[in-house]
Each structure stands twice: as C-alpha cells, then as structure tokens.
Amino acid sequence: MKTILLVTDGIFHPTWLGRMTLHRALKHLEGFSFVHISSLEQLPVDLSRYAALVLHFHHKTISSTALKQLDQFVQGGGGLLAIHGATASFKESLTYHRVLGGRFIGHGPVENFEVRRKKENIFSDIDAFFVKDELYIHALEPEIEVHFTATCDGREIPVVWTCHYGKGRVCYSVPGHTTSTMQHPIYLRLLQQGLLWVTE
C-alpha cells in the first residue's frame, strides 16, 4: 500500500468542488491510501512513509523549512504530481520551480482549448480532449518531457510534462482552474496515470 499526501486548498482557485472530485478520483486507484493537508507548511517532519505528494493549490509564500522538506523529499526519490496553480505559487522561489520543472509567467482568459497528446508514452491510451480552463504559459526547465500540448496564438504550448528531479519523479498538468475540468473523466484518468507514474 502506497500512502499519498494530498496537499490541496482553495474555495474558488482551485474550486472546493473540483478538489473534492480530484480526491475521489485518486482514491479509486487500488493500492493507495491518502492523507490530506492544506499547506506545505503542514508537512510532517518525517515524509518517509509517503510515496508521493499531490499539489493542487495557489499559495503566495513558502517557508525555508517547508521548501527544504519538499526539495529533499523529491530529490530522495519521492513522487510529485502538481496541478494548475501549483506553478503560479511561490513565485520568488527558484528552487521550488526547479523541482516542478517550470514557472508560471502568464495566461489568457478562461476558454475552450484542445489538449493533444504529443507522442506515444505513459499516457498512450488518452486521446485529444477539450477543456474550458486557463491555459498557463511557463518558463520551462530544459530537461522536461512534454506529453500534451495546446495551441495559443499559433504556438504549441506545453500542457502536461514529466521530469526527474534527483531520484524523484515529477508530473505537472496545466488544467485545473474550473470545476468542469476537474470533473472531466478523461482528464481525471490522465491525473490518475500521472500519479501512477510518479510512484513507480
């Protein structure tokens, strides 16, 4: 049994209902148990019992203690699944965004866009689908592997990526602003597969 620490918070960004839908979808995975906290400041001193963290929040500041715990956890082999506003959090922390593989730099309005698979990979059974959400733009770390993209102003924008950080595995996904996105069955399956990959 793998224990996952869900670090999620929000009423409107992200929405409470969207977060609860995520919790339920992940709990359908066999072989996992889950513990919930609302902030990285509440991380247990000993993270060794956890296989991965799931980050779905939009917070402004992080203490040096919490940042060190996160960094050491992933570098030491822990998994990390991060969603939407996670990359828009802690904007002044270079270390935090190196762990995630990218730093939020902007987005347009909430609008419909198509999420398209870029290659045959760990998400090979997920075809293109549409969401109505914020399409985040990022400054990206060079070592990420992009799995899904969307088009904005004629440019191909990374939407889902994975990377390794030390011995740990990281998966990040852009959509997650709206409740409808977090209730999309294909998107929930993508997030389930992301969690499975980071905990392999």
**Which pLDDT score is estimated for 140?**
97
Give 56-101 pLDDT, tens digit per residue. 999 999 999 999 999 999 999 999 999 999 999 999 999 999 999 9
What's the mean pLDDT in 109-116?
96
Give 13-69 pLDDT, tens digit per residue. 999 999 999 999 999 999 999 999 999 999 999 999 999 999 999 999 999 999 999
On average, the pLDDT of the chain sits at 97
Sequence-distant (≥ 6) Cβ neighbours of residue 100 within 8 angstroms: 80, 82, 86, 87, 170, 172
What's the mean pLDDT in 189-195?
98
Entry pTM: 0.97
Task: Give 184-187's long-range contacts (Cβ < 8 A, gap of 24+).
Answer: 184/129, 184/131, 186/126, 186/127, 186/129, 187/115, 187/129, 187/131
152 vs 54, which has greater pLDDT? 54
How many other C-beta atoms are found inside a 10 Å radius of the C-beta of residue 30? 5
Domain range for 73 is: 2-198
**Which pLDDT score is estimated for 119?**
81
Task: State which H helix or E strand residue 179 sits in.
Answer: helix 179-182
Phi and psi based region of residue 199 (left: phi greater than 0; alpha: psi -120 to 50; beta: remaining): alpha
Sequence-distant (≥ 6) Cβ neighbours of residue 56 within 8 angstroms: 6, 7, 8, 9, 10, 14, 19, 22, 82, 83, 84, 85, 86, 176
Structure-token pair, residue 24 = 């339920």
How many other C-beta atoms are found inside a 10 Å radius of the C-beta of residue 157? 18
Report whether pLDDT(124) > 90: no
- Please give the tally of structural domains in the chain: 1
CATH of the domain at 40: 3.40.50.880
**Which pLDDT score is estimated for 35?**
98
Report whether pLDDT(108) > 90: no
